[in-house]
Copies of this chain bind each other. A is one copy, B any other.
Amino acid sequence: MKRIFFPFMMFFIMLATATSVRGEDGSRLWLRFKGSSQANVTGVANMAMEELKQNWQGGPVVLKRKKGMAKDSYTITTNGGKTIITACDDAGMLYGAYHLLRLQQMGKDVSNLNISESPAYSLRILNHWDNPNGTVERGFAGKSIFLNFDAERLKIYARANASIGINGTVLNNVNAKPEALASENLQKVKQIADLLRPYGIRVYLSVNFASPIKIGGLTTADPLDKDVVNWWNKKVNEIYKLVPDFGGFLVKANSEGEPGPCDFGRTHAEGANMLADVLRPHKGIVMWRAFVYNPQSNDRANQAAMEFMPLDGQFRDNVIIQIKNGPVDFQPREPYSPLFTSLKKTQMMVEFQITQEYLGAANHLVYLAPMWQEFFSYVQPGSLKAMAGVANIGDDTNWCGHHFAQSNWYAFGRLAWNPLLSSEVIADEWLRQTFNNENRFVRPMTKVMLESREAAVNYMMPLGIHHIFAGGHHYGPEPWYNPPGIRKDWTPPYYHKADAEGLGFDRTKKGSDNVSQYPEPLCSTLNDINTCPEIFLTWFHHVPWDHKMKSGRTFWDELCHKYQEGVDQTRQFLAIWDTMQPYVDEQRFNEVQRKLRIQTRDAIWWRDACLLYFQEFSKRPIPQDMEHPIHNLDEMMKYHINITMYENPEYGYDK
């Protein structure tokens, strides 16, 4: 392996020089090591040694291999003035090295260490929704980093992932083009896999279930058809010749128009198992998405469980069902998907969305760790096999569009390693590494980050409201969106059901009975409007406008105040950031400030659009003790940002 290290070292030296010239543009992520002369690192010669030699500024470090330790695990101990990193594999040693460097960067005492770390999940994987033409679905940070990829930049990507323990990456969109499996593309996959391998990262591909027809020339993709199985066998062999440690397939089947086994009269299990059997000899896995729903359903939230519960126990042991955290679709707040507590004999992984499809794209500062922690307060981490995150990464200089969006990539990796880490600890770590160690900076900004997701819920859709986003790009409010002929479950009125009586989706036993997918006593708690947590109120109930809330306010007044609270919170974030100028470099200060200003304007837009629209039903006044809308409903209703789902809007409402 020595052969390839030389160019890497050249690159690190170039990087150190280049960044000092081009200033603080965010391109270095949280990997802002000060650099050092060659540190004293001995022992196993691997990537961990290279990283430490370049960046460690402390005393001698010894890298030791020790058989019998769990995969990816490591210990860091101090003995006789030496720091010893012990692991059974190169990946574990590398994780240990990054742990040590993190402590150094955060200014921690590293003179007497006794650390023992082991990941909660063996698979910690990013899902890139990148298309062959370089667009990224729900990508707000430029084009795909895998299109005409820049090897040096891909290595930074690999280091960043390894530094937080991410060990897998799905290179292409779950809405997969058959061409992903074309031989030319597989050559490129091999090149990428070769670049990522030294950092312990395996590559995976999303596959189109109809590939045997589309690129194989067969007349069917029936998973029980011999020719089809043969085709997949050949294809998988081709892949593993190029990429011996290829991870496996991610499949979105029979969902939102994608093909799948049901097209041929087969079940999801039959489809997934066929692929699993083909991959098994190579130790590959199948991640099969449970994100299915059909337009005829009277409650989309019921669909996944209804389709997958009958299949519980039928999946091979190298199939993992990948389930979105909530039953609908990555909303600012959803209850957990009841599949997680319903499936008993099926391997599951959670799919979080790091990219902010529904959370202000790359314009809003929304730190997502608290949202993911909320999920784990309902779903036992131990009940899952793996954790996947839909990446927020593109070819923007700062990788994620918003400097603070980097924190979500970081937090995802840290939580995939240890879902019990607190959001606060992760924010503190990220701020110190990415910006600086000043407590006067870190403490207030930690507070901002921790509050930011609740603020977004407040100004977008408080009290259980969901999916009232603009059609298409999902940026900004369009609770009225309902063009003729569209699938009803793609329109906000399907979800909010506002009428003269109240607001919300009746999912109680008297309604769609979605509550019954949850175990007791949670089911009963949710079913009763008086015990249902208010954060989920309109998710489960059609709430009368005058329903008395715990605050003593009516539901309508509480709704108004929640929106206002969101506006006030974003203003406060901006005000706090403005005082951070002494602690932040000019470029990042200005760029974040600009985004916070957009966020504050957007919060007002959300408040105005939602309150004025819902007021058409509630016929109740905006409470006097809060600000009143400054936009006009009719004008907001005429406004639609003219962008695709592959880009970040420059700003929000243009009035």
> CB within 8 Å of B: which residues of A?
571, 574-575, 578-579, 581, 593-594, 597-598, 600-601, 604, 621-622, 624, 627-632, 651, 654-655
**12 more CB-based (< 8 A) A-B contacts, given A579-B624, A597-B632, A600-B630:** A571-B627, A571-B628, A574-B628, A574-B629, A574-B630, A575-B622, A575-B628, A594-B632, A597-B631, A598-B630, A601-B630, A654-B655
User: Which residues on the B side are within 8 Å of A594 (C-beta)?
Assistant: 632
Please give, as numbers and ranges, the residues of chain B lying within 8 Å of A575 by CB-CB distance.
622, 624, 627-628
Q: Number of copies of this chain in the oligomer?
A: 2
Asked if residues B597 and A629 are in contact (CB atoms below 8 Å), the reply is: yes
- Alpha-carbon gap, A604 to B567, bound state (A): 14
Residue from A593, A598, A628, A631 whose CB has the most chain B CB atoms within 10 Å: A628
Name 6 A/B residue pairs within 8 A (Cβ), A-sorted. Answer: A575-B627, A578-B621, A594-B632, A597-B629, A598-B630, A651-B655
Q: Which residues of B contact A654 (CB under 8 A)?
A: 654-655
**Distance in Å: Cβ of A175 to nearest Cβ of chain B:** 33
CB distance from A165 to the nearest CB of B (A): 37
Give Cα A601–Cα B655 distance, bound, in whole angstroms.
9
Q: How far is the CB of A583 from chain B (nearest CB, A)?
A: 13
Once bound together, how far apart are the Cα atoms of A600 and B631, in whole Å? 9
Q: Which residues of B contact A651 (CB under 8 A)?
A: 655
Q: How far is the CA of A597 from the CA of B651 in the complex (A)?
A: 20
The reply to whether A578 and B655 contact each other, CB–CB distance below 8 Å, is no
Query: In angstroms, how far is the closest chain B Cβ from the Cβ of A19?
Result: 25
* Residues of chain B contacted by A579 (CB below 8 angstroms): 621, 624
Q: Which residues of B contact A632 (CB under 8 A)?
A: 593-594, 597
Q: What is the minimal beta-carbon distance from A488 to any residue of chain B, in angstroms? A: 31
Contacts of A624 in B (CB 8 A): 575, 579
Chain B residues with CB under 8 Å of A601's CB are 630-631, 655
User: Sorted from nearest, which 4 A-B pairs have the closest CB atoms?
Assistant: A600-B630, A575-B628, A597-B630, A574-B628
* CB-defined contacts of A574 to chain B, threshold 8 Å: 628-630
Complex Cα–Cα for A594 and B574 (A): 28
Docked Cα-Cα span, A594 to B655, in Å, equals 12
Looking across the interface, which residue of chain B has its beta carbon closest to that of A652?
Answer: B655
Kindly state the separation between the CA atoms of A622 and B601 in the bound complex, as whole angstroms. Answer: 18
CB-CB nearest in chain B for A654: B654
In the assembled complex, the Cα of A632 lies from the Cα of B628 at a distance in Å of 23
Given the complex, which residues of B lie within 8 Å of A629, measured CB to CB?
574, 597
Residue of B nearest to A575 (CB): B628
Complex-state Cα separation, A579 to B629, whole angstroms: 13
How far apart sit A578 and B628, CA to CA, in the bound complex (Å)? 8
Closest to A601 in B: B630
- Assess whether B655 is in contact with A622, with CB atoms less than 8 Å apart: no
Q: Could you tell me the distance between the alpha carbons of A593 and B629 in the complex, rounded to whole angstroms?
A: 10
CA distance A571 to B625 in the complex (A): 11
Hey, which chain B residues are within 8 Å of A578, CB to CB? 621-622, 628
A298 to B601 Cα, complex, angstroms:
41
Q: How far is the CA of A314 from the CA of B168 in the complex (A)?
A: 94
Which residue, of A601, A621, A655, has the highest number of chain B Cβ atoms within 10 A? A655
- In the complex, what's the smallest C-beta–C-beta distance from A572 to chain B, in angstroms? 9
Q: Report the minimum CB–CB distance from A597 to chain B (whole Å).
A: 5
User: Bound complex: CA of A579 vs CA of B597, how far in Å?
Assistant: 30
Residues on B with C-beta less than 8 A from A597 are: 629-632
Which of chain B's residues has its CB closest to A578's CB?
B628
CA of A93 to CA of B5, assembled, Å: 104
Q: Return chain B residues, CB-CB under 8 Å to A598.
A: 630
What are the residues of chain B within 8 A of A604 when measuring CB–CB?
A: 630
Minimum CB distance partner of A631 in chain B: B597
Shortest distance between the CB of A234 and any CB in chain B (Å) = 56
Bound Cα distance A655, B579 (Å): 24
Residue of B nearest to A625 (CB): B575
CA distance A630 to B603 in the complex (A): 11
| Closest CB in chain B relative to A650 CB, distance in Å | 9
Hey, which chain B residues are within 8 Å of A631, CB to CB? 597, 601
Contacts of A655 in B (CB 8 A): 601, 651, 654
Q: CA of A621 to CA of B574 in the docked complex: distance in angstroms?
A: 13
**A600 CB to nearest chain B CB (Å):** 4
The chain B residue with its CB closest to the CB of A571 is B627
Residue on B nearest A576 in the bound complex, by CB: B624
Chain B min CB distance to A614 (Å): 15
Task: Report chain B residues within 8 Å CB of A571.
Answer: 627-628, 630
Residues of B within 8 A of A600 (CB): 630
- Minimal Cβ-Cβ distance residue in B for A603: B630
